[in-house]
Structure 1
Amino acid sequence: MWKDIPVPFYLSVHFFEVLNPKQVLRGEKPVLSQRGPYVYREYRVKTNITFHDNDTVSYLEYRQLFFQPHLSNGTEDEYIVVPNIMLMGAAVMVEKLPDLWKLLLSGALAGLKQEAFMNRTVGEIMWGYEDPLIDAINAIVPGLLPFKGKFGLFMDFNNSDSGLFTVNTGMNNISQVHMVDSWNGLKEVDYWRSSQCNMINGTAGEMWPPFMSPTSLQFYSPDACRSMTLVYEESGQFQGVPTFRFVAPKTLFANGTDYPPNEGFCPCMQSGIQNVSTCRLNAPMFISHPHFYNADPSLVDAVEGLHPSKEQHGLFLDVHPMTGIPMNCSIKLQLNLYIKHVSGIIQTGQIKPVVLPLLWFAESGSIEGSVLKQFYTNLVLLPSVLEYLQYILLGLSVPLLVSAALLMARRKRGAAQKSPRAPARATPSSETTP
């Protein structure tokens, strides 16, 4: 199961379309409409599997995504109005540069007919589109963008690996099985400002050590550039299999003011969003729960069209505690872009500073079919049968023991009755004549 995970995973992507781009440029509140989901079947394949002498194993896990029209609400050819991510991101990134650089960039943008918002297809936004703006930015501000050619939000997500994981096999200590030893050769990352935030904790997010306690679990997410801790919420069942449900605590994306241990993830803004610019090419990107669930209400109020709810936007993991294997899961994250008016970049108009949701996605999967049946039979049904059987055998043993005791008592009594009596001893009589 570790090598070839027998669980069908799906990636569901929801885009936020900006309905009033012209008004936003004049400083008005963005009005958003959720589009999708656009659903992809996700296949994961482990390669380069190498076992080491110190009870660890390293591997690369490749992901491939295939669009599922029958599960989607729309096609990849649909057009959506979203922020011009390259333009708006570059504008904030060059805000502190000399005015001359910003004027040159603004002039280049005008010559390329670049605007603050763009109308592109779902496929282009996901998997990349050719944009002369990339070459222009690289020419004017060398080193600002570490890539050339196409740009797409999920370009690095498909047909690629998530880094070289080295995890413990649990050979000598089962409580350490699946726990990450290193990622890309690193014991900790260097994205954040504190050693605690840079730590690589937990597993790779696929399985956990067995015999779990109802407390918390951790996993390292390369997509979020950090380790995440989920907390126990409740016990339940999935298709008859007992599970522990783990969910995200409210402190997961809290800022350093509300939750001091998160100070290392700053510079922070409101609670509920995490600045990931340091691991996303220094672009002003933030991650959060979908629809700013569990976030500062001001983030929801800054735009129209968001309706956060636990049922739709809360992430969860249902794990079988005896084996540490997830039975049902849905990991959800939202990608946001910080946009604002930047002096010298005329394309930014009078946009008021706002953390604008771009999209949110869910990676979901659940054990089903023959694997679920085998799981239920071996780990639920048979142990239950054996447990009942021991009581049945115990119940049967009581009359057997009683019968055996009665038989032994009867044999002893019969033996006593059959044994010969001793002859009476003669006593001298006073009437006997000597």
Structure 2
Amino acid sequence: MTAGAPRCAALALGLLGTACLALGVVLLGALPIIVREEVIKNVRIQPDSSFFQLWKEIPVPFYFSVYIFEVLNPNEVLNGMKPAVRQRGPYVYREFRDKKNITFHKNYTVSFLEYRRFYFQPDMSNGTEEDYVVVPNILALGGAVMMEHYPPSVRVAISTAFSFFKQKGFMNRTVGEILWGYEDPLLKFLNTIKPGLVPFNDKFGLFVDFNNSHMGMFTVNTGVDDISKVQMVDNWNGLKKVSYWRSDQCNQINGTAGELWPPFITPSTPIEFYSADACRSMRLQYKDSGEFQGIPVYRYVTPKTLFANGTDYPPNEGFCPCRESGIQNVSSCRLNAPVFLSQPHFYNADPALLETVDGLHPSEQKHGLILELHPLTGSPLNVSVRLQLSLFIKRVPLIIQTQKINPVVLPMLWFEERGVIEGHIVDQFYTDLVLIPSVLGYLQYCAVALGSVLLIITIFLWLKSKKDIQAKALQALDPRNGEPRDPATASLLRKNSSLNNNIDN
């Protein structure tokens, strides 16, 4: 090997090290920008964005599970005793959602109607739709509370009508009838004598209007002009706020439609959505960070203040008239029926509610809301919304169907709407948003590390080459006079001296 070979090798390594270091530094600065721009481009609501088809027809399987509270002692309840209930179910339905009437507007918003369809899943259910269950008769007991302050003559007439059409305080009906409706002779009579007198057709059921229906016209921001506003509700049915409640704060329509949220979420980002079923906006509380099938997520839960009464949480005063904390009176948006919304089994509610009904066992794991969001894109990967419907019943003078009922908020049912991203969708999500960015992230640090190592090796080789040349030169000197022994060595020393002077300069 010639004397210049080590120096040539050092020069080549130096150039390679510089290139690797430069690549790493460029990636360090450019990669976050590239990822951000890609997210912005794809989460906007536009026909050419990769999320558009997912937003239009959500491919994630949704399941609607219903648990009905069977009243075990209806006769005793009518005589003033504490109700005892037993949970039946779940009765599980596959829920399909798709958006129709999608209309883009010039102000960077888009309107749509989202339809829901439910199909019973016998293999996932604990029972069938033909199961008979004893439940409170909402028309009789709920109607009685609604008529409590009417003149005595009206209450007598109502009680007489109930008796004529055989309306009792409790009824034994099938799950299918309770949920999706049954023909009621009283409703049919009222609609015959005066169409439109009651806001029902001849059938009555808790979810009679759910199937093949939509939750109103939502208009949300597309994010084209401002990505921080994407998915945020601009108006619902043309309204900027509702009029169900007693304060502007409670009537506000905040957050998204509950499907997606804006990207680049931090733990301090407010997570809100407007629920047309609950007639209000709901804000969730950040719990912790974790992973869902290898994908980083933020976990959110319902705060204890969500359904707190105005005494325990003054901002909720607008939702009153209130009873105990943990239940919300939704009569103002449910035709004045004495219906209350809460978490299942009165979870996070005043313990006094549990003392009035036997058979309830609240649990965070079984009855708490679950929302796991991918913070980079604002996409929910695992969501489970759990809510309970209860009926306030009591004795109403002159309405004999209420007999001696003590006032009680009686749970009727609770339901869970759950969607979990799975299959090829979660695989693609993981590849595009976790694996590839992670590989590029490792690559940038590897490039910086490799470049630094190569430059260190270059310096080492350069110094070693210089030392080797000097050692050879010393060996070539004549010990008698210190002069080179031959002309070639002298020439080499002169070249080395000149090269070192140039480097030093």
Match of 1:346 in 2: 400
Higher RCO (CA-CA < 8 Å; seq separation 6+): 2
Give the alignment's TM-score, normalised by structure 1. 0.93
| Contact 1:104–1:140 under 8 Å retained in 2 | no
Deviation of 1:132 after TM superposition, in Å, equals 1.2
SS in 2 for 1:46: strand
Deviation of 1:403 after TM superposition, in Å, equals 3.9
Match of 2:329 in 1: 275
Deviation of 1:304 after TM superposition, in Å, equals 0.4
CA deviation vs aligned residue, 1:375-431 (integer Å, no higher than 9, x gap): 111111122212222222222212321344456668889799444999xxxxxxxxx
SS in 2 for 1:209: coil
The number of residue pairs the alignment matches comes to: 422
Pairing of 1:314-333 with structure 2 (within 5 A): 314-333=368-387
Match of 1:257 in 2: 311
Aligned match of 2:98 in 24, 45, 55?
Answer: 45
SS in 2 for 1:24: helix
Pairing of 1:194-205 with structure 2 (within 5 A): 194-205=247-258
Cα RMSD (Å) of the superposition?
Answer: 2.0
Aligned match of 1:184 in 228, 233, 237?
Answer: 237
Deviation of 1:63 after TM superposition, in Å, equals 0.3
Amino acid across the alignment from 1:365: G
Aligned match of 2:65 in 8, 12, 30?
Answer: 12
| Contact 1:230–1:247 under 8 Å retained in 2 | yes
CA deviation vs aligned residue, 1:35-61 (integer Å, no higher than 9, x gap): 000000000001111111111111110
The structure whose residues are more often strand, as a share, is: 1
Match of 1:357 in 2: 411
| Contact 2:329–2:339 under 8 Å retained in 1 | yes
Deviation of 1:133 after TM superposition, in Å, equals 1.8
SS in 2 for 1:282: coil
CA deviation vs aligned residue, 1:317-364 (integer Å, no higher than 9, x gap): 000111100010100000000111110100111000100000000000
Aligned match of 1:226 in 274, 280, 304?
Answer: 280
Amino acid across the alignment from 2:400: I
| Contact 1:105–1:140 under 8 Å retained in 2 | no
Match of 2:48 in 1: none
**Greater Cα radius of gyration, structure 1 or 2:** 2
Q: Does 1:102 pair with 2:158?
A: no
| Contact 2:64–2:418 under 8 Å retained in 1 | yes
* Aligned CA distance change for structure 1 residues 17 and 187 (closer, same or farther; 3 Å): same
Match of 2:224 in 1: 171
Match of 2:452 in 1: 398
Taking the aligned partners of 2:85 and 2:228, their CA distance within structure 1 comes to 46
Taking the aligned partners of 2:160 and 2:497, their CA distance within structure 1 comes to 130
Structure 1 unaligned spans of 5+: 423-434
Match of 2:213 in 1: 160
SS in 2 for 1:197: helix
Q: Does 1:127 pair with 2:180?
A: yes
Match of 1:432 in 2: none
* Aligned CA distance change for structure 1 residues 420 and 205 (closer, same or farther; 3 Å): closer
Give the alignment's TM-score, normalised by structure 2. 0.80
SS in 2 for 1:251: coil
CA deviation vs aligned residue, 1:262-315 (integer Å, no higher than 9, x gap): 000001111111010111111110100000001111111101000001111111
| Contact 1:145–1:281 under 8 Å retained in 2 | no
Give identity over the alignment, percent.
Answer: 63
Amino acid across the alignment from 2:379: I
Amino acid across the alignment from 2:430: Y
| Contact 2:191–2:202 under 8 Å retained in 1 | no
Taking the aligned partners of 2:334 and 2:426, their CA distance within structure 1 comes to 38
The structure whose residues are more often helix, as a share, is: 2
SS in 1 for 2:360: coil
* Aligned CA distance change for structure 1 residues 405 and 84 (closer, same or farther; 3 Å): same
